[in-house]
Amino acid sequence: MAKEKKVEQITDMEVDFAQWYTDICRKAELVEYASVKGFTILRPYGYAIWENMQQIMDAEFKKTGHENVAMPVLIPESLLKKEGELVNGFAPEVAWVTMGGSEELEERLAFRPTSETMFCDHWSRVLHSYRELPMLYNQWCSVIRWEKTTRPFLRSREFWWQEGHTLHETAEEAKAETEQQLNCYADFFEKVLAIPVVRGRKTDKEKFAGAEATYTVECMMKDRKALQGATSHYFGDKFSRAYDVTFTGRDNKLQYPFQTSWGSTTRMIGAVIMAHGDNNGLVLPPAIAPVQVIVLPVAQHKEGVLEAAGALRDRLKAAGIRVKMDDSDNSMGWKCAQYEMKGVPLRVEIGPRDLEAGQCVLVRRNDGEKTVVALDALEEAVKEQLASVQQGLYEKAKKNLEEHIYPAFSIEEAKQLQEERGGFIKTMWCGDVSCEMAMKEKAGMSSRCIPLAQEHLSDVCACCGKPAEKMIFWGIAY
């Protein structure tokens, strides 16, 4: 009976990209909808991907001296309101706790949408001297933002993230931290998620509420839409002043410290799906794949096959590879489709004929490439193939990004390029928010970032024709 189990089909990505995306989220068993509107459940396979991401990022954060903490999840309204810009930015999206047990609370409490206010409040009580600086904190938790429309990983009322919050003696140190963490994110996207990024600064319109400057890593998905990968903010001493965070400086005078924050979320899983997935399902970079190698015995009822497959699995496990074997009674066709759907980077097949020849077959998920390998050389060959999948994914994504950045010199041209080709449209920009609004209104694109790697395309703004010194990227964003 089980052998006839059907492989579930997903929507073709060329037909309906949004549905293709949702199909993968569900069929690869990454998420499931909860009975609370707008909330999702991270299922074991989805959570395992998140855990791998966490582990790698957490180690990077700690290498540069960051420490994890846990702040309360509820923020008193009066505390949240001390910094006007921040609260205005987040107020429409805050979930409020108004009752504890059977009693109405005297002051309602916000479920954290972000924790700058809590960190500042804490620092205002524990910071005394410049000797205690910098304070380099990070927190892994979930936050709530009461979004109207939601999509798995990309926009969800609750999402899981890390939020780094740091405090420094000088503005220079805080700026260096903001840059360091931006680069940390960029490296993570490129080396771990195999997604190339554009590093840049957000415009004032798009920056984080209350920040002096917001930096971003922007990615391009397979449908050529933009996705903001992670952000790093510099606050100056604005929050310090609002929350009365002070320290005694080297000059023995009371000073305000300088602050940063930086965050990345489970939407990175959404980025991985849309950067690498195909019509057979998810394609995972080996660096974050819960299962890097699936061992499939072929004609497993034949003598010696199961034992040989088991031995391969044990050897790969001993070599530090995340490996599983599937010796269930499902058909070979079903198994192959199933592990393709789940994005397992490498399949190892071994059957009676392979046994005779002292070999096995490796099949790469990303391009279907098969390699016949002598059993003796298994570990080395598997590591090579995994590295090749990781590299192959990155190169393909890089090609997608590089081939879809188009210069434009007017809003009309920008609009036409976006409609015909998609991707990032790069133009010169005068810096005026009204030009940003015009691009949004007329061409349907938001500013993605002012890339750190600038080019001089022309002398004037593509929107208004006034002198312009900055090159900016536009796109349609998730």
Residues that bind a second copy (CB under 8 A): 2, 32, 34-36, 39-44, 47-48, 50-51, 67-76, 79, 91-102, 108-109, 111, 118, 121-122, 125-126, 131, 137, 141-142, 144, 146, 157-158, 160
Task: Answer yes or no: are the C-beta atoms of 448 and 200 closer than 8 Å.
Answer: yes
Smallest gap, in angstroms, from Cβ of residue 120 to a second copy?
11
Residue whose entry in the numeric block shows the structure tokens 């002292």: 358
**Alpha helix segments (H runs only) across 212-295:** 238-243, 267-276
Beta pairing, strands 323-325 & 293-297: parallel
Crossing angle of helices 267-276/17-27, nearest 10°?
Answer: 120
Between 146 and 409, name the residue whose CB sits nearer to a second copy: 146
Smallest gap, in angstroms, from Cβ of residue 103 to a second copy?
8
Task: Please name which of 181, 224, 218 lies closest in space to residue 200, comparing C-alpha atoms.
Answer: 218
∠ CA 89-452-416, nearest 5°, is 80
Smallest gap, in angstroms, from Cβ of residue 141 to a second copy?
8
Between 79 and 405, name the residue whose CB sits nearer to a second copy: 79
Smallest gap, in angstroms, from Cβ of residue 48 to a second copy?
7
Q: Considering just the CA atoms, what is the radius of gyration of the chain in Å? A: 25
Between 67 and 469, name the residue whose CB sits nearer to a second copy: 67
Task: Please name which of 348, 249, 261, 257 lies closest in space to residue 297, comparing C-alpha atoms.
Answer: 348
Q: Determine how many CB atoms are found less than 10 A away from the CB of residue 343.
A: 28
Smallest gap, in angstroms, from Cβ of residue 78 to a second copy?
9
Smallest gap, in angstroms, from Cβ of residue 39 to a second copy?
4
Between 145 and 448, name the residue whose CB sits nearer to a second copy: 145
Between 80 and 308, name the residue whose CB sits nearer to a second copy: 80
Smallest gap, in angstroms, from Cβ of residue 127 to a second copy?
12
Cis peptide before 352 (omega within 30 of 0): no
Q: Could you give the CA distance from residue 216 to residue 18 in angstroms, rounded to a whole number?
A: 24
Task: Please name which of 70, 275, 42, 58 lies closest in space to residue 156, comparing C-alpha atoms.
Answer: 42
Smallest gap, in angstroms, from Cβ of residue 26 to a second copy?
10
* Beta strand ranges found along 221-369 (DSSP E): 226-236, 247-248, 254-255, 258-265, 293-297, 323-325, 346-350, 359-364
Smallest gap, in angstroms, from Cβ of residue 122 to a second copy?
6
Between 166 and 203, name the residue whose CB sits nearer to a second copy: 166
Between 96 and 376, name the residue whose CB sits nearer to a second copy: 96
Between 160 and 406, name the residue whose CB sits nearer to a second copy: 160
Between the alpha carbon of residue 31 and those of residues 44, 49, 160, 194, 250, the distances in Å are: 9, 11, 13, 22, 52
Between 40 and 427, name the residue whose CB sits nearer to a second copy: 40
| 254, burial (CB in 10 Å: exposed 0-12, middle 13-18, buried 19+) | exposed
**Alpha helix segments (H runs only) across 299-351:** 305-318, 332-341
